[in-house]
A = this chain, B = another copy of it.
């Protein structure tokens, strides 16, 4: 069988400036969109062939949405944009002195490079915790977590030992940011509306959902009012919220908190932090706190003229309101993406660059049925109306019209049926609890 010999990525030379975007997340998509119609070749590299709407991954993990509702193939998104090229591959290294990138499918030169590689889960060096935890950064993660949650309940049916049963039925979520809060809410909905019907053999009062947060409050990025209300919503729903508690260790069974408390659970979901995901080859001096790439206020990577970094992977100095960098969420990435596209065009046309200024629209989180907290430029509200706002904003933000329609239908369906139809275990055998754990004695 002849090998597929790939020495280069075979991207046509159009005789126009070539702008390579690495990563098709929120930031990358905006760069590409904003370059439409410009006299430039736009090339996107991504490990996946689709954009993922990360804010709703937790709904995939809790059986509320099908995977395909929150992803969109890049070729579908940009199929009609002329001079756009997509390559499915991982960028391994940048060689800035040659304007060249090495990728898993060959090498290619660029004129302008935009690093939009986002963030990865940060376990702060706790390898044992990393090994035994679930996280939620992509569709495979979310599907694996969905499989695990359902499988734990199936296994809980098989034991009469109280501690073993609790280790299966209890879930510990670490991190009281939007992801942790939303996941805790969604799991509680499953516990309340779905699992009692599915698992009549189990006593659902035994299922505990813990939310562990190292700081003294929830939703640190939002107002005190939002944090307090989220705390009240969650505790009213029965979630056990542990504030001022950090995870010290986790062996897959026992969680030791900094408060000295011990929790027993086979399911720890880590939503306690992310770090930048830079690419090798960038001047080490440009990698700063949180593993993010230091950029100037045009999003140019320190030390380079034609390399930009945007979104989660970038840390911009000089914004007095955000001395530690902009929040690692969609809006800064999108706004930076649009401006970088414009500034690259300015560079091509030899026009002056425009500095970035972050327009903070606020943020929001949903806690469960009819419950959300919203902070919008000075206005803060919580409850049912906030929940409608949350739904509307997220629906409008999901990429692709078809996805909006299908997500809307799914939400309506879930709301009126109190059901979650996607409670499916669709996975490979290697995901199952190690068969050794299911020791058969004297069968």
Contacts and interface: CB of A to CB of B under 8 A. Distances in A.
Contact of A49 (B6, B73, B424, B439): B424
A88 interface: yes
Contact of A439 (B6, B157, B160, B200): B6
A252 B154 contact: no
A198 interface: yes
A89 to B, nearest CB: 8
Given A50-B424, A88-B154, A4 B438 contact: yes
A442 interface: yes
A432 to B, nearest CB: 9
Interface in A211-259: 251-254
Contacts of A151: 88
Interface string A393-412: 00000001011011001000
A433 B4 contact: yes
Nearest to A417: B402
Interface stretch (A26-34, A99-107, A172-180, A282-290): A99-107
A128 to B, nearest CB: 13
A426 interface: yes
Interface in A41-60: 48-50
Interface string A117-147: 0000000000000000000000110010000
Contact of A443 (B102, B139, B154, B200): B102
Interface stretch (A64-72, A302-310, A323-331, A363-371): A64-72
A433 B198 CA distance: 40
Contacts of A402: 413, 417, 419, 421
A1 B79 contact: no
Max chain B C-beta neighbours (<10 A), residue from A4, A438, A439: A4
Contacts of A66: 66-69
A435 interface: yes
A376 interface: no
A379 interface: no
B159 A443 contact: no
Nearest to A79: B197
A428 B423 CA distance: 21
Given A151-B88, A425-B88, A438-B104, A419 B76 contact: yes
Given A10-B160, A49-B424, A140-B427, A1 B154 contact: no
Contacts of A140: 426-428
Contact of A441 (B7, B76, B251): B7
16 contacts: A2-B164, A3-B439, A4-B164, A6-B158, A6-B440, A49-B150, A66-B68, A67-B426, A68-B422, A73-B421, A73-B424, A75-B423, A80-B197, A105-B158, A106-B440, A402-B419
Given A6-B438, A7-B441, A67-B426, 18 more contacts: A2-B167, A3-B439, A6-B158, A9-B158, A49-B425, A66-B67, A67-B68, A68-B421, A71-B424, A73-B198, A75-B198, A79-B197, A79-B200, A87-B154, A88-B151, A140-B426, A406-B409, A409-B409
